[in-house]
Amino acid sequence: MQRPGFRKQFFAWALKKTDSINNRIYSRYKHELFRYLQGTVVEVGPGTGINLSYLSGIREWIGIEPNAAFHSRIHELAMQKGIRARIVNSSAEEIPIVDNSADAVISTLVLCSVADPAKVVLEMKRILKPGGKAIFIEHVAAPRHTVLRAAQNIFNLLNQLIADGCHCNRETWNVIEGAGFAQVSLKNYRVKEMFKFHEPHIVGFAVK
């Protein structure tokens, strides 16, 4: 495997430094959403592997992570947790996993930075078993015609440059609701601990 470039290595190092902050902000949502997961769980963009600490009782975990700078850390955490883990070096737009094979798919703070979020969500749905659950924790655009939304639109280009392609003004809920799931349950939150442009969030799940 080709050694990741400096930019990817730097992003992996910087993201690891924020793990403690991430846990403080999102742990209550993750405990609620992940606690009943079983079987085969696929995670899109697991990054540092931070979500592994919230998973127990699952049979297999598969991480779709194109940044190889994260891989050794993920393997280390999975071993510590006793989780059978496999990492796939692939983009989330084309997940190399067969249809109807996952019991759950996780996406946390990922759809903001992928190239084609609609395609990623459709891939998540494709690999889920019927009745399987896609779980989302994502920062999103503020409501239209608000001061915060206008500020997000202005700041977005700089945000992409400094945050590895992250968009702070995506209406991600529309992508999820338009993907054809049998059920969608999303709640809106303002996460005050986040940078102002990243405060609006959606948290919830969709069932195939």
The secondary structure of residue 205, as a DSSP letter, is E
Question: What local confidence, expressed as pLDDT, does residue 120 receive?
Answer: 98
Terminal Cα-to-Cα distance of the chain (whole angstroms)? 34
How far is the C-alpha of 110 from the C-alpha of 70, rounded, in Å? Answer: 15
CATH architecture of 6-207: 3-Layer(aba) Sandwich (3.40)
Rounded average pLDDT over 123-141: 98
Query: What percentage of the chain carries pLDDT values higher than 70?
Result: 93
DSSP per-residue codes, 5-40: PHHHHHHHHHHHHTHHHHHHHHHHHHHHHHTT--EE
| Residue recorded with tokens 């470039």 | 5
pLDDT band at 6 (very low <50, low <70, confident <90, very high): low
pLDDT in tens, 93-128: 999 999 999 999 999 999 999 999 999 999 999 999
Question: What local confidence, expressed as pLDDT, does residue 164 receive?
Answer: 74
The answer to whether 62 touches 40, Cβ cutoff 8 Å, is yes
> Is the pLDDT at 49 greater than 90, yes or no?
yes
* b/e per residue 133-158 (b: at least 16 CB within 10 A): bbbbbbbbbbeeeeebbeebeeebee
Backbone angles phi, psi at 187, to 5 degrees: -120, 150
How far is the C-alpha of 79 from the C-alpha of 68, rounded, in Å? Answer: 18
Nearest CA-CA partner of 203 in 140, 126, 142, 159? 140
The answer to whether 73 touches 16, Cβ cutoff 8 Å, is yes
Structural domain boundaries in the chain: 6-207
Nearest CA-CA partner of 92 in 73, 70, 71, 114? 114
- Tell me the angle at which helices 19-34 and 6-17 cross, rounded to the nearest 10 degrees: 70
